[in-house]
Amino acid sequence: MERVPKNLRQKVAKLLTKQAHVPYVGPIALWMVLFVIAPLVIILYFSVLSTGPLGQIISSFTLRNYADVLKGAYGIILLRSLAFAFGTNMICLLIGYPLAYWIVRYGGRWKITLIFLIIIPSWTCYLIRLYALKTLIGTTGLINSTLLSLGLISSPLQVLYTPFAVMLGLVYTWFPFMVLPIYASLVGLDPSLLEAADDLGATPFQKFFTVTLPLTKGGVFAGTILVFIPALGEWLVPLLLGGAKVMMAGSLVEYYFIKVGNIPAGSAIAATITAIVLLVVYLGIKLGGQEVLERVT
Amino acid sequence: MKASNMTNKILPTLSMLVYIFLWAPVIILVLFSFSSNRFGIKWESFTLQWYFDIIGNVAVRDALIRSLTIASITIVVATIAGTIAAYGLYKYKFRGRGALRTTILLPMVMPSVVTGGALLVFFSRAIHIPLGYLSITIAHITFCTPLAMFVVLGRMARIDWSLEEASADLGADRLTTWRKITIPVLLPAMIASAALIFPWSFDDFIITYFVAGVGTTTLPIYIFSQLRFGATPVINTIGTILVVLPIISVLLMRFLQKKK
Amino acid sequence: MENREGIPCVELRNVVKRFPGVTAVDHVSLKVEQGRIFSLLGPSGCGKTTTLRLVAGFETLDEGDVLIDNKVVNDIPAHKRNCSTVFQTLALFPHMTVEENIGYGLERKGVAKDKIKKEVGEVLELMQLGGMEKRRPSQLSGGQRQRVALARSLVLRPKILLLDEPLASLDRKLRKEMQTEIKRIQREVRITFLYVTHDQKEALTISDTIAVMANGRLEQVGTPNEIYETPRTRFIADFMGAINIFLGKVIATGSSQEVQLETADGLKIIAIKNKGIPSEEITGISVHPELIDILPEGTDLEGDNKFRGKIIEMNYQGDFTETRICLNQVDRIITAHLSNEPGQNVRFSLDERVLLCWNRHSSKILIG
């Protein structure tokens, strides 16, 4: 019986030294649980509640919210969001990768400045950037007026409030986030590997596809995570550039939470988006390897 | 050869187009904030009138002060919490380290409407925090602390940690070592995070919009409310501020970095 | 690869390569004999690596010509030249297995899959790497990675194999083993090797021909024996370890090619020169430490070069002790090796006064 307290003391002491990290990561972990995980769980909870005839929330389990979201008009909006996000991702990739490659390969001393010029816009208020883009391409905007005065067109081009405008806005907003991880990945590439490929007889074309691309896939997948996910949940771009005609998943969330106050429905959409986000992150890390995590941060 | 054709002609042209595409709208916005032409798209003459106008504009002033206050609090809390967390994550290998790291990554990656919406529901339905300064500040801290943590974490690999060991060896206790060695050594990284957090907090619109409730207007929210009037010089001016300030902030950070 | 006798595998004609602020390769001309190991030896920055890269095609030259198999290849890009490089960092593709790495060059050539498998298998055997096919470079030891890099280049049967300090990162024991390995492999495949190193012992072990370089210029080309025994310049002598250098002028010559040299501080040294070298061209003499005998001060003997001095430093090196002696006659320090082999019954200690002695044949003539 006397032995027990001593063993216990030893165990606690061992536990305390093993947990030296607690005071450091404890606070942030706690905060994350409280303000990130808990809200998501709450959302999940609300998403399966029903709404009564007067709009109030009733505690009865239902999957109707999800059914509403995934079917009909709203289901189409979700699909459209996926399509937009995918399209944005591909455009950013197809333009961003060559750009990053050009900067790394031919940038020389200006590499850092060049990449900075891409990144800086992303640090500014994106509401303003979208507004600036909107004024530029609007019917009374600079582009139209210039084209009109040059006589290239007879009446202003109606670009705004079309899917094209939304796509343009999405690419405009999220493009820098694809370039940076790819740039970081390319910069970390060992140049002697490229020389070795040359030495072993690879043409520039073969060199790119057998060596450069496989070794930079971490950057590509990181860029995908950083572009696809935000584009999916966009609200502001479709609002400003798409008007009521082009809605995306994010617009629905805002509609339900703020305009209408239908918490369960909004939660259902938010939860669905979250699920897709988690899936994309998981796939990105699986396919891109550990490097993805480093490049994202 | 096809490949060299590609690299010599297409790539540079493509790149130039990209830079123009990215910067044109912003540059034009800034330029027009100095134009005396009220509504037109033609540049008349240079004027600072619009800037003087907004100085007198009470609503703008209030919104600006709110944004700055929230940003300041956020910077302080997020930088400190992020640095401490980065220290713990870097120095100690513990179970759940990877999972914690991925969780902290999440708020940075999630779409703003989801974090904003989730926090709105959480504040109003679950823990009953009033929507306003408090909710906005909490929200900002939530998505800025991960940024601070990752910035500091990224620099930790390049630091000479034997300095800490030397300090301990010479008899300093943990707290003193922290005060005299660790913090000074981490200071550049902390300043860098502060410089990066400022734009994230100051410029934030979507999440702030969701959790602000009625009556608490930050600068971006004010702009948004003005947008329904179409293009106005006020928007141009404030927009320019919202664009130029963060750029200065980031450039300052680079400048300080280079000096080291 | 068959080659007509007499045509060098690689030839450099007056090659110049400049970088901003420095001429890395300064009018270098040399001929690399077919089927041999040719080494470029010199200190860091002497231009040996740049010369190698000019042959490989990774650098473009400013003046002169590079010829492979008697064909000028100046404008032919690296991936079209028939040479293969083993990089200092090995440059093994981290995302490919050993098999895939080795087969890479063959794949680029469009060789059929089964033929690739066969060739790769053969070269793996040659390198004694059987069983490692599916491993990744990160799972191999240093020596194994070396051999994979070699295999990757050799499997293409290039006209010439270029090696850029391939053993620089290995520890001493492994280096010695690999030096023997490389020599064995070369003898078996009979491909010309152009080898770059800064280690004179390595060059002496491996090479059939050595070219010593300094400051972008060729100092001397010859067999290991020639370079070691008859270093032409003070720099080469010093680099090859003949670190006892006496500069001076010939004051007397004898009938059998013996010469007597007098240094500025009055030392007189006897050496034997080559028939073809005129005495006026001789600028000095170098002597290897291991060829100098250390004897007790009072020893009475007949000998060519005898000097008395005091031991000021002794560094134990295992089978010998590096001993530094300050001469009585003049203010000079001579380095000699004291053998530690069992059976040597004379022991010396610090501050002891000794007699140094070496034979006239041990004095190497310097002419530059």
Contact C79 A196 (CB under 8 A): no
Q: Which whole number is the average pLDDT over B14-25?
A: 90
Q: Which of chain A's residues have a Cβ under 8 Å away from the Cβ of C54? A: none
B3 pLDDT band, cuts 50/70/90, is: low
Q: A289 — contact with chain C (CB < 8 Å)?
A: no
> Best mutation site among A199, A211, A290, A291 for testing chain C: the one with the most C CBs within 10 Å?
A199
Q: Which of chain A's residues have a Cβ under 8 Å away from the Cβ of B139? A: 35
Q: A108 — contact with chain C (CB < 8 Å)?
A: no
Lowest mean pLDDT among A198-202, B86-90, B226-230: B226-230
Smallest Cβ distance to A215: which of C79, C83, C95?
Answer: C95
Contact B2 A205 (CB under 8 A): yes
Q: A56 — contact with chain B (CB < 8 Å)?
A: no
Domains C10-229 and C234-368 alike in fold = no
Neighbouring CB atoms inside 10 A of B96's CB total 11
DSSP states along chain B: -HHHHIIIIIHHHHHHHHHHHHHHHHHHHHHHTTBS-SS-SS---B--HHHHHHHH-HHHHHHHHHHHHHHHHHHHHHHHHHHHHHHHHHH---TTHHHHHHHHHHHHHS-HHHHHHHHHHIIIIIS-PPTTHHHHHHHHHHHHHHHHHHHHHHHHTTS-THHHHHHHHTT--HHHHIIIIIHHHHHHHHHHHHHHHHHHHHS--HHHHHH--SS---HHHHHHHHGGG-S-HHHHHHHHHHHHHHHHHHHHHHHHHHH-
A55 pLDDT band, cuts 50/70/90, is: low
Q: Which of chain A's residues have a Cβ under 8 Å away from the Cβ of B121? A: 39, 42-43, 46, 257, 263, 266-267
Instruction: Answer whether residue A161 shows pLDDT above 50.
Output: yes
Which residue does chain B place closest to A176, by CA atoms?
Answer: B22
Contact A235 B113 (CB under 8 A): yes
- Looking at residue C1, what is its pLDDT? 43
> Best mutation site among C108, C152, C160 for testing chain A: the one with the most A CBs within 10 Å?
C108
Closest Cα in chain A, distance from residue B143 (Å): 9
Contact A198 C95 (CB under 8 A): no
The chain-wide mean pLDDT, for chain A, equals 84
Topology (CATH level 3) of domain B53-259: MetI-like fold (1.10.3720)
Dump pLDDT digits (tens) for B65-81: 999 999 999 999 999 99
**Domain-located, residue A47:** no
Neighbouring CB atoms inside 10 A of C265's CB total 12
Alpha helices in chain C (DSSP H): 48-56, 98-109, 113-126, 142-154, 172-189, 200-206, 224-229, 234-239
Neighbouring CB atoms inside 10 A of A43's CB total 26
Closest CA to A270 of A283, A257, A284: A257
pTM for this predicted structure: 0.80
Closest Cα in chain B, distance from residue A111 (Å): 13
- Looking at residue A295, what is its pLDDT? 63
B38 pLDDT band, cuts 50/70/90, is: low
- Count of domains forming chain A: 1
Smallest Cβ distance to B3: which of A21, A205, A249?
Answer: A205
- Looking at residue B189, what is its pLDDT? 87
Dump pLDDT digits (tens) for B167-195: 777 777 777 777 777 888 888 889 888 98
Which residue does chain A place closest to B91, by CA atoms?
Answer: A21
CATH architecture assigned to C234-368: Beta Barrel (2.40)
Closest Cα in chain A, distance from residue B225 (Å): 12
Q: Which of chain A's residues have a Cβ under 8 Å away from the Cβ of C85? A: 195-196, 199
Closest Cα in chain B, distance from residue A2 (Å): 33
The interface predicted TM-score (ipTM) is: 0.84
DSSP element (H, E) containing A149: helix A142-149
C266 Cβ contact list (under 8 Å, min separation 6): C329, C330
Q: Which of chain A's residues have a Cβ under 8 Å away from the Cβ of C151? A: none
Please name the chains neighbouring C, where neighbouring means 3+ C-beta pairs under 8 angstroms: A
Smallest Cβ distance to C87: which of A192, A206, A214?
Answer: A192
Q: A209 — contact with chain C (CB < 8 Å)?
A: no
Q: Tokens in use for A118?
A: 């891409």
- Looking at residue B1, what is its pLDDT? 41
List strand residue ranges (DSSP E) for chain A, in order: 49-51, 57-61
Distance of CA A180 to the CA centre of its chain: 13
Full residue range of the structural domain in which residue A246 is found = 72-296
Contact B110 A233 (CB under 8 A): yes
B208 pLDDT band, cuts 50/70/90, is: very high
Instruction: Answer whether residue A128 shows pLDDT above 70.
Output: yes
Please name the chains neighbouring A, where neighbouring means 3+ C-beta pairs under 8 angstroms: B, C
Domain ranges of chain C: 10-229, 234-368
CATH superfamily of C10-229: P-loop containing nucleotide triphosphate hydrolases (3.40.50.300)
Provide the CATH number for the domain around residue A85. 1.10.3720.10
Closest Cα in chain A, distance from residue C106 (Å): 8
Contact A202 C104 (CB under 8 A): yes
> How many helices (H) and strands (E) are present in chain C, helices listed first?
8, 20
Q: What percent of chain B has pLDDT over 90?
A: 23
Closest Cα in chain A, distance from residue C93 (Å): 7
Closest CA to B33 of A156, A237, A117, A135: A135
State the distance between the two ends of chain C, measured CA to CA, in whole angstroms: 39
Q: Tokens in use for A94?
A: 């197809």
Nearest-angstrom CA–CA distance, C291 and A21 = 64
Q: Would strands C37-41 and C192-197 be described as parallel, antiparallel, or unpaired?
A: parallel
C310: β partners: C326, C353
Smallest Cβ distance to C105: which of A192, A195, A201?
Answer: A201
Q: Which of chain A's residues have a Cβ under 8 Å away from the Cβ of C79? A: 197-203
Q: Would strands C353-358 and C305-316 be described as parallel, antiparallel, or unpaired?
A: antiparallel
Closest Cα in chain B, distance from residue A254 (Å): 7
Contact B203 A126 (CB under 8 A): yes
Nearest-angstrom CA–CA distance, C83 and C78 = 8
Contact B105 A297 (CB under 8 A): yes
Type of residue at C99: E
Instruction: Answer whether residue A134 shows pLDDT above 50.
Output: yes
Instruction: Answer whether residue A8 shows pLDDT above 80.
Output: no
Q: What is the sign of the dihedral through the CA atoms of C286, C290, C295 and C300?
A: negative
Closest Cα in chain A, distance from residue C30 (Å): 23
Contact A206 C108 (CB under 8 A): yes
Question: Which positions 1-20 of A are in contact with B (Cβ < 8 Å)?
Answer: 18-20
- Looking at residue B105, what is its pLDDT? 85
- Looking at residue C148, what is its pLDDT? 94
Residue with tokens 């050539």: C109
- Residue C355 vs residues A103, C269, C319: alpha-carbon distances, Å: 68, 15, 21
Question: Which positions 155-174 of A are in contact with B (Cβ < 8 Å)?
Answer: 172
Contact A99 B104 (CB under 8 A): no
Which residue does chain A place closest to B10, by CA atoms?
Answer: A98
Residue with tokens 């959790």: B211
Q: Which of chain C's residues have a Cβ under 8 Å away from the Cβ of A206? A: 108
Contact C93 A193 (CB under 8 A): yes
Contact C156 A200 (CB under 8 A): yes
Q: Which of chain A's residues have a Cβ under 8 Å away from the Cβ of B203? A: 123-128
- Looking at residue A6, what is its pLDDT? 65
CB A276 within 8 A of CB B245: no
Q: At A92, is the secondary structure helix, strand, or coil?
A: helix
Task: Encode chain C (368 residues) as per-residue pLDDT tens digits.
Answer: 444 567 888 999 999 999 998 999 999 999 999 999 999 999 988 999 999 999 998 899 999 999 998 899 998 888 788 889 998 888 899 889 999 999 998 988 888 999 999 999 999 998 888 888 899 999 999 889 999 999 999 999 898 999 999 998 888 888 999 999 999 999 999 999 999 999 999 999 999 999 999 999 999 999 998 888 888 888 898 898 888 999 999 998 888 888 899 999 889 999 988 777 888 888 999 999 989 999 888 888 888 889 999 999 999 888 888 999 999 988 899 999 988 888 776 788 899 999 999 998 888 888 87
Q: A214 — contact with chain C (CB < 8 Å)?
A: yes
Nearest-angstrom CA–CA distance, C233 and C366 = 5
Question: Which positions 58-97 of A are in contact with B (Cβ < 8 Å)?
Answer: 95
DSSP state of A80: H
Domain ranges of chain B: 53-259
Q: Which of chain C's residues have a Cβ under 8 Å away from the Cβ of A211? A: 93
Q: Would strands C320-327 and C209-214 be described as parallel, antiparallel, or unpaired?
A: unpaired
B126 pLDDT band, cuts 50/70/90, is: confident
A-to-C residue pairs, Cβ atoms closer than 8 angstroms: 59
